[in-house]
Amino acid sequence: MQKQGLKPNTITYTTMISGLAKAGNILEAKNLFERFKANGGVPDSASYNAIIEGLSIGNRAVDAYGIFEETRMKGFNIHTKTCVALLDALHKAECLEQAAIVGAVLRETAKSQHAAKHW
């Protein structure tokens, strides 16, 4: 792609990160995410959700939680599905303090989604 003079954008990177993670190439997905940011890329909500979910499913709970915190600091929404995957990974890794924080975010997300539905 780059050899042809095309520059990957956020959607391209997010798709590649998600695909690598789903294929079990967790470390490669994380490296691509970091390279994307280092090269001036600006991850969006979908990018963050893709890497957090991929790391969570790949039993990289501590890495996933770090990116979860980065995501929250930047004000992005974290999908319910992503929170559940991270919560499960943190529980398995016995990271109970972090799991409690993710649980609180999950509850707040559910409340706001419920309120928006019934507004």
Map out the domains of the chain as residue ranges. Answer: 2-117
Q: What's the CATH code, domain 2-117?
A: 1.25.40.10
CB of 75 closer than 8 Å to CB of 101 = no
Each residue's pLDDT tens digit, 13-48: 999 999 999 999 999 999 999 999 999 999 999 999
Q: What's the predicted TM-score (pTM) here?
A: 0.86
Residues 6 or more apart from 105 whose CB is under 8 A from it?
72, 78, 83
More confident residue, 66 or 8: 66
> Given this model, what pLDDT does residue 112 score?
74
Which pLDDT does position 5 carry in this prediction?
73
Q: How confident is the model at residue 89 (pLDDT cuts 50, 70, 90)?
A: very high
Q: Which residues of 81-91 are buried (b: 16+ CB within 10 A; e: fewer)?
A: ebbebbbbbbe
- CA 26 and chain centroid, separation: 12
